């Protein structure tokens, strides 16, 4: 899918300093960093869902938090995040903070501050990984949903009630009067997650980061919540970054998939292309772990089993960061000397389908 990119992430690096002990300080050991996100580039188009998949700790949540600017500026070790706000928000940024305006109608997320930032924030929302922890237990549903509207000075009491009721209907919590006076503990898990989605939607965002929005829900509710998100994306033409561990789910909700490993995107392409024809050994192993996705595919890649622990994000290996686990494959056909010496970038093996693996290096004719 092409069109207008609402999010452009360019070579983003988010590093967190590792806390040093007194011994480290005395021995003058250098400051070490967790390379949570280590050079990530992607775009998300209007009306598109891009899935970010990969195992625990590979940097998915950090990427999402960076997009909605929940990462401290000092942890951004490189790159930039450009967002395309609506015309009126852009005009306002141009007026009050012209240095945060980047080329072609984009704003540079980490240059924004004060009122200009507030305006852009309104259009960028996030649904958090844990629906049980993300809602304040002392607030009624009405207060939870009304709060963002009050912060952004939208409407009077009556208008706000109308907006909140409408958004509850959108996430199929009806009739709204029944839910508005309740506290989060008086809802089921699925209903609570729908309130979390409603809160993200109440400001009518253009950009939504959804961090494993259904992983804590049971299967019957899951489909319902995903349906709501898909409908909204189509109706409101949002750009969604959808995070999941689950590749089978990714295929169902996403247009494209980005596979992350240790802070880097190792494969990027159309959802069907990636599931049916995975290129990177890591993706192949992930797909192999899905119970019987495509019998044909399974036969082809049956031998690939990932072994060993995730490599440390503090002391990254030289060369390809997946190599220490790639060598551990049974009958590995992939390894070549170059893997140890140089880190591969994303290589376009098929139109729109990229993999960061030396196997796909184009040979000169
Ligand atoms: N505020 C922080 N300070 C220090 N390290 C952090 C911080 N936030 C995340 N990390 C580290 O960054 C790495 C990436 O974490 P992140 O939460 O982005 O992973 P994830 O892919 O979302 O994992 P999961 O699937 O378990 O949610 C991890 O090693 C984590 O420990
Ligand atoms: Mg996470």
Cα(56) to ligand 2 centroid in Å equals 7
Model confidence at 329: pLDDT above 60: no
Neighbours of ion ligand 2 (CB under 5 A): 61
Query: Which atom belonging to ligand 1 lies closest to the Cα atom of 64?
Result: 18
Cα(57) to ligand 2 centroid in Å equals 7
Q: Does any domain span residue 130?
A: yes
Q: Are 149 and 155 in contact (CB under 8 A)?
A: yes
Q: Does any domain span residue 294?
A: no
Query: Which atom belonging to ligand 1 lies closest to the Cα atom of 59?
Result: 18
| Domain count within the chain | 1
Cα(126) to ligand 2 centroid in Å equals 13
Query: Which atom belonging to ligand 1 lies closest to the Cα atom of 263?
Result: 14
Task: Work out the average pLDDT over 287-307.
Answer: 61
Query: Which atom belonging to ligand 1 lies closest to the Cα atom of 212?
Result: 27
* Confidence tier at 298 by pLDDT (50, 70, 90): low
Nearest ligand by distance to the CA of 15:
1
Task: Work out the average pLDDT over 70-88.
Answer: 95
Model confidence at 248: pLDDT above 60: yes
Q: Does any domain span residue 168?
A: yes
| Confidence (pLDDT) at 101 | 94
More confident site: 340 or 41? 41
Cα(128) to ligand 2 centroid in Å equals 9
Name the residue at shortest CA distance from atom 5 of ligand 1: 16
Q: Does any domain span residue 17?
A: no
Range of the domain at 198: 124-204
Name the residue at shortest CA distance from atom 19 of ligand 1: 57
Nearest ligand by distance to the CA of 37:
1
Give me the percent of the chain exceeding a pLDDT of 70: 90
Q: Does any domain span residue 196?
A: yes
Name the residue at shortest CA distance from atom 3 of ligand 1: 16
Cα(80) to ligand 2 centroid in Å equals 21
| Confidence (pLDDT) at 365 | 46
Q: Does any domain span residue 182?
A: yes
Cα(303) to ligand 1 centroid in Å equals 30
Q: Does any domain span residue 173?
A: yes
Q: Does any domain span residue 96?
A: no
pLDDT tens digits for range 253-294: 899 999 999 999 999 999 999 999 999 989 988 887 776 555
More confident site: 224 or 4? 4
């Amino acid at each position: 899918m092409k069109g207008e990119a609402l999010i452009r992430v360019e070579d983003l690096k988010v590093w967190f300093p590792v806390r040093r002990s007194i011994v480290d300080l005395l021995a003058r050991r250098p400051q070490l960093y967790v390379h949570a996100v280590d050079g990530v580039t992607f775009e998300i188009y209007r009306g598109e869902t891009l899935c970010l998949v990969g195992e625990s700790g590979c940097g998915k949540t950090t990427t999402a938090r960076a997009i909605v600017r929940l990462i401290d500026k000092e942890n951004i070790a490189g790159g930039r995040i450009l967002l395309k706000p609506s015309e009126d928000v852009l005009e306002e940024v141009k007026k009050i903070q012209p240095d945060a305006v980047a080329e072609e109608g984009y704003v540079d997320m980490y240059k924004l501050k004060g009122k200009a930032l507030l305006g852009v924030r309104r259009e960028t929302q996030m649904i958090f990984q844990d629906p049980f922890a993300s809602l304040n237990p002392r607030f009624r549903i009405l207060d939870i949903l009304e709060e963002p509207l009050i912060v952004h000075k939208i409407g009077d009491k009556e208008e706000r009630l109308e907006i909140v009721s409408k958004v509850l209907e959108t996430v199929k919590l009806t009739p709204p009067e029944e839910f508005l006076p309740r506290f989060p503990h008086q809802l089921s898990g699925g209903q609570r997650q729908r309130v979390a989605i409603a809160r993200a939607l109440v400001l009518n965002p253009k950009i939504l980061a959804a961090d494993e929005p259904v992983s804590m829900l049971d299967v019957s509710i899951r489909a319902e919540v995903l349906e709501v998100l898909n409908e909204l994306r189509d109706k409101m033409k949002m750009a969604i970054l959808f995070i999941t561990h689950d590749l089978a789910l990714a295929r169902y909700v996403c247009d494209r998939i980005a596979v992350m490993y240790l802070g880097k995107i190792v494969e990027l392409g159309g959802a069907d292309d990636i599931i049916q024809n995975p290129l990177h050994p890591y993706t192949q192993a992930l797909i192999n772990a899905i119970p019987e996705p495509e019998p044909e595919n399974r036969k082809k890649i049956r031998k690939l089993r990932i072994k060993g622990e995730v490599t440390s994000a503090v002391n990254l290996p030289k060369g390809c960061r997946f190599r220490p686990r790639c060598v551990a494959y049974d009958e590995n056909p992939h390894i070549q000397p170059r893997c140890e010496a140089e880190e591969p970038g994303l290589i376009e093996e098929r139109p729109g389908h990229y993999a960061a693996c030396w196997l796909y290096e184009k040979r000169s004719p």
